[in-house]
Structure 1
Amino acid sequence: MTCNKIVRLAPVLAAALLLSACADRSMHDLKSYVDEVKSRKAGHIEPLPEIKPIETFAYISDGRRSPFESQAQGEQALGQNAGDGFGPDLNRRKEELESYPLDSLRMVGLLEQLGITWALIQTQERTIHRVKAGNYLGTNHGQITQINETQVELTEIIADGQGGYRERQASLALAGE
């Protein structure tokens, strides 16, 4: 049994002995390379460019909207001034499916979980999202009012062309294969 261990260790010991014979312990070539690099002349670093001051500008409104308000706030004020003040909630955080036109979305299925009915909506990129009543989709502020086995019904708020808004009913039908 001990002879068997010696036979297994013999090649390992022979390889270690051969490798140690090849090693140059003085590392003369490494030391000469380091000395050569240290003796090189230092390079020139360009100075940083001079920063020019920005000219100031005094804004005079002359009845125009403030540049510090968002465009949505200006549109909301415009929509409230026209008609009866009815319009979309422009301060509401947009949902992901509101960035897609309604005709580019497809209803591909229906799901019911814990008493909530969800519609499965597919985008042009073939990503599937689940939505329920109350969610928004489409670019015309469309809010889902009802979901059934065949379609998603929604109410859109669109501009009436006279500075106001009106509601329009729309639907997204279940896509057939």
Structure 2
Amino acid sequence: MSQRTLQLSRYALAGAALLALAGCGDSDVQEVRQWMKQVDSSAVVAVTPISEPKTFIPFVYASNDEVDPFSANKLLAELARMDRKPGGGLKPDTGRRKEFLEGFPLDTVKMVGTMEKSKVIYALLQVDKSVYQVRPGQHVGQNFGLITSVTEDAVSVKEIVQDATGDWVERISKLELQESKESNK
């Protein structure tokens, strides 16, 4: 290759580079920027304003002769009023010494028989594997149960329990004789 061809090819290469750089010019970018300014200036913003907040007027509890409903004194006044109301006057004797069978719930106590000593009928009550003799006037169960009568087939117990309102009420329960499996053979 001659010197001249080499020089011509260099010029051709430089011209192609200049044409490529001319294509990357700023003319298209200028057009886009001009279009964005035009749209921005002609756009109308339609935002509805936020309404003013409602004013809150606090309630003032101004009744000085009434009890505040959120006060602890209201609860105390209601409890005092309930104490004055006659609830039948029935209350268990919590000051007396508990008997042994009062330590067991009544549903765990079974009547397994009766016996008579000195013309008094005793019931035989079983708790777990132990058997105890009881007569009318003794206590059984965890609800202040008093044995009112003993017959050959049942023991009547008067319990004192609290109802839903907190008043003491009487409840009558019966422990019936449990038939043994051996007597059926």
TM-score by length of 1: 0.52
Q: RMSD in angstroms over aligned alpha carbons?
A: 1.9
CA distance in 1, matches of 2:133, 2:84: 36
- How does 1:14-163 map onto structure 2 within 5 Å? 83-124=87-128, 126-163=129-166
Gaps of 5+ in 2: 1-81, 181-185
DSSP 3-state at the match of 1:103: helix
Summarize deviations over 1:90-135 as a string: whole Å, max 9, x none: 00110000111111011111010001110011102x1111000010
Identity of counterpart residues, as a percentage?
38
Is the alpha carbon distance of 1:141 and 1:112 closer, same or farther for their aligned partners in structure 2, counting shifts above 3 Å? same
Task: Give the letter aligned to residue 107 of structure 1.
Answer: M
* Shift, 1:80, TM fit: 6.7
* Shift, 1:160, TM fit: 1.1
Kept after mapping to 2: 8 A contact 1:85/1:164: no
CA distance in 1, matches of 2:170, 2:163: 9
Task: Give the letter aligned to residue 176 of structure 2.
Answer: A
Larger Rg, first or second structure (1 or 2):
2
Task: Give the letter aligned to residue 117 of structure 2.
Answer: Q
CA distance in 1, matches of 2:96, 2:151: 26
Gaps of 5+ in 1: 1-78
Q: Does 2:183 match 1:174?
A: no
CA distance in 2, matches of 1:81, 1:171: 34
TM-score by length of 2: 0.50
Kept after mapping to 2: 8 A contact 1:80/1:87: no
Is the alpha carbon distance of 1:114 and 1:123 closer, same or farther for their aligned partners in structure 2, counting shifts above 3 Å? same
Q: How many residues align?
A: 99
CA distance in 2, matches of 1:114, 1:80: 46
Task: Give the letter aligned to residue 159 of structure 1.
Answer: Q
